[in-house]
Structure 1
Amino acid sequence: MADKEVYDDAVEERVINEEYKIWKKNTPFLYDLVMTHALEWPSLTVQWLPDVNRPEGKDYAVHRLVLGTHTSDEQNHLVIASVQIPNDDAQFDASHYDSEKGAGTLVAPPRLR
């Protein structure tokens, strides 16, 4: 019975990975912007902080957020992270997009909001 469970888990993990690859490949068509970063532990708590820094002459704003860890048998902690979010008028270079990895930047036509 244990072999069947291991096999089922492996198949399920493969399906999840394949679905993730499909989603990531299609993100340029679904979203204006997607930024991903793998964490060591899952974060059940995420809070955007109200302060935003807009460096002069840059095409991005720096936002801060708090991430709460969810570990197994280790001390949980808070992480204060910063992320650079492109301004609405930022220009992206499609030549840096890697469709195999599903990573990089991609020029998307502006949308009416």
Structure 2
Amino acid sequence: MSSSSRRHGGHHRAEPPSHPPAPSEPRDWAALPQDILITVFLKLGPREIMLGAEFVCTTWRRVAVGEALLWRRIDMGIDTISVFHPATRAMARATLDRSAGQCEAF
């Protein structure tokens, strides 16, 4: 038995890769197909879309503002007190505008 076999208990170890894995290509999130983007936005709430997702890039904003399907069911997740806050009321009006008359539930 060789000395290296005795040191490692007779088991052969796999050699570590000689090259580090290549970095992955950067993703172009603006290039997502619109139907996939809509599916993702439907998982978000109106607040998350209006206060975050629509500011990612012009493509995402165009979908967030122009796709009435996203605004058929609007749950702002607000309490009674914040309903009277001017910013909350403005956001609620904007969601209704975006629904283009297709809002089914608010």
* TM-score, with structure 2 as normaliser: 0.28
* TM-score, with structure 1 as normaliser: 0.27
Bigger proportion of residues as helix: 2
Between 1 and 2, higher relative CO (CA 8 Å, sep ≥ 6) is seen in 2
Flag the structure with larger Rg: 2
